[in-house]
């Protein structure tokens, strides 16, 4: 991952919920060319959702999701994975600063982050 992300937020859209089977997804999103697998590419596999313009890219051995793609062509990396790679800490500059598609939520979130 290089450069500034486009978004660091919680996504509540139906597409993320369907692709990942989660109530919402905490993500950091970059343009596609800003995220690359630099080694072990032969160890990953991709699942293309049949009815959405989305994919899930994951390790074919352990199942860890490395990133997802969305209809805008962005690569979305889970904040949880970023934390795992940083001794359990999410860098301050990547903390969620908004909830997107909050009107489509299936769970209420009681925090002070803006809801769009």
pLDDT at 18 (0 to 100): 87
Beta bridge partners of 100: 11
The answer to whether 19 and 56 are in contact (CB under 8 A) is: yes
Contact 12, 22 (CB under 8 A): no
Quote the pLDDT of residue 58.
95
Residue 41: DSSP 8-state? G
pTM for this entry? 0.90
Q: Map residue 92 onto helix, strand or coil.
A: helix
Give residue 33's pLDDT: 95
pLDDT at residue number 64:
94
- Name the phi and psi angles at 12, rounded to 5: -110, 15
Per-residue pLDDT in tens (0 to 9) along the chain, 116 residues:
889 999 999 999 998 898 889 999 999 999 999 999 999 999 999 999 899 889 999 999 999 999 999 989 999 999 999 999 999 999 999 999 999 999 999 999 999 999 99
Question: What integer pLDDT is reported at residue 52 of this predicted model?
Answer: 87
- In contact, 17 and 68? CB cutoff 8 Å: no
Q: Provide the 3-class DSSP secondary structure of residue 53.
A: coil
């Amino acid at each position: 991952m290089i450069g500034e992300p486009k978004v660091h937020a919680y996504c509540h859209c139906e597409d993320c919920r369907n692709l990942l089977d989660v109530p919402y997804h905490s993500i950091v999103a970059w343009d596609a060319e800003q995220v690359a697998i630099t080694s072990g590419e032969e160890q990953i596999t991709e699942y293309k959702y049949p009815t959405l313009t989305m994919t899930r890219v994951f390790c074919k051995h352990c199942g860890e999701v490395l990133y997802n793609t969305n209809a805008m062509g962005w690569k979305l990396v889970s904040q949880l994975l970023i934390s795992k790679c940083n001794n359990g800490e999410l860098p301050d500059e990547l903390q969620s600063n908004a909830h997107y598609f909050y009107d489509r939520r299936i769970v209420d979130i009681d925090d002070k982050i803006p809801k769009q």
